[in-house]
Structure 1
Amino acid sequence: MHAKTRNDEPQRRENLDPHESFNPVPRLMLGLIGLLLIWAVYYIYTAHPTTRPALGDRRNVEVLAAVPSKAVDGGQIFGASCAACHQATGTGIPQVFPPLAGSAWVNGGEQVLIQILLHGINGSIEVAGNTYDGVMPAFGDKLDDAEIAAVASHIRSQWGNQGAPVTPESVAEQRKRTADRSAPWNGGAELATLK
């Protein structure tokens, strides 16, 4: 044998390099996975996936048809489509977007507000003593009669406005009246002819 040298000492203090060993998934885990798969197949088989989903809660078609549909929420439509410009408080943005609160265009005849919502405005309009020169988009192609009636009713009943509610029938009548119109109203001067 050879004599121990000082060079051998550091090698004895070192651990061997790690090696990956073959560690299979424990049998208990494999058993649990197998049981879950068997349960899933059994559940799908006994759930009758071929039944009509509309009757999943065991109500028949007549009962489902009798459930009233939810009323259109004008406040929600206003918040999604109008509040960015006219603000949630209806005060608008000074010199940019007109206020709806206390506006004669809102509180006057409902046909004017309906036509504004249906076709939009392009041009000068005076609101509460201030002149606004901008563009309001048309919503006639985006909202149906019930939705326009709901948002118009919301506008006419908020922020101190005292206008009567607007019905979907009124909107349908106004839509039919100006069915051939494709351009926005040319400011307040043209809207004034509707009063």
Structure 2
Amino acid sequence: MRKDPEARSHAQAREQEDPSERNRPIPLTVALITLAVVIFGVAYILLSEPFGRADLGDRRTVADLRAPAAGATLAVADGKKLFTANCVACHQASGKGLPGVFPPLDGSEWVGGDERTVVNILLHGVSGELTVMGITYKGAMPSFQQLSDAELAAVASYVRAEWSNKAGAIKSELFASERKSSTRTTPFNGEAELKTSTDKVP
């Protein structure tokens, strides 16, 4: 039985076209906006300051980060800061030390005594018995020879003039000469060796 031609045309009209892939390019408006954003970003980077605002980041230059010259170290060495960083844990900010454990620097005859003794204590350290203000301490003080001569002079001068101490400052040249003339690689063995080695009694 043959179908009516009109019925066949209605059936064909209800059918959908087969799907097909088509090339859909980015709309021109979106492409222009993207290009404008990229151009703005490049221009901003090229025209803005290298490090931005000072309060939002580190603006130090390579020159600022270089180690100071030997002559400049003397000018910038801060004895109080060096003492706080290296000595305060044992000798305390008050210079009183810890009773029976770490000797005081405030009023110490070693601190206010001969300059060479102070210099050698800082350069080489002391291990063993050390009598300070009539009390004998037995412990160990490390060497601080890793510090520069100017830094050692700054911290020694600070300690000798701080609290009740009234001793004079020590120049970095004395640290340099004592460091150069000594072959010692170990701490002094108590006060007896310290006195003998420095040839001075505090």
Length-normalised TM-score, structure 1 = 0.69
The answer on 1:40 being equivalent to 2:48 is no
Q: Which runs of 5+ in 2 are unaligned?
A: 1-28, 51-59, 63-68
1:169 to 173, 176, 183: 173
Task: Work out whether 1:192 is the aligned partner of 2:187.
Answer: no
Q: What's the counterpart of residue 134 of structure 1?
A: 139
Q: 1:45: Cα distance to partner?
A: 2.9
Distance 1:97-1:41 versus aligned 2 partners, 3 A rule: same
Deviations 1:105-148 (A, max 9, x none): 000111111111111011000001100000111111x2010110
Alpha-carbon displacement from aligned partner over 1:7-32 (angstroms, at most 9, x marks no partner): xxxxxxxxxxxxxxxxxxxx9xxx6x
Root-mean-square deviation (Å) = 3.0
Q: Which structure would you say has the larger Rg? A: 2
Structure 1 position 111 matched with structure 2 position 111: no
Runs of 4+ in 1 over 2 A off after TM superposition: 33-40, 43-49
Q: Which amino acid aligns with 2:42?
A: V
The CA deviation at 1:54 is 5.4
Shift of 1:170: 1.0
Instruction: Say if 2:153 is the partner of 1:149.
Output: yes
Aligned to 1:17: none
Per-residue deviation at 1:38? 3.2
* Ranges in structure 1 where 5+ consecutive residues have no aligned partner: 1-26, 56-64
Shift of 1:185: 0.6
Percentage identity across paired residues of the two chains: 46
Give the alignment's TM-score, normalised by structure 2: 0.67
- Give the letter for the 1:143 counterpart: L
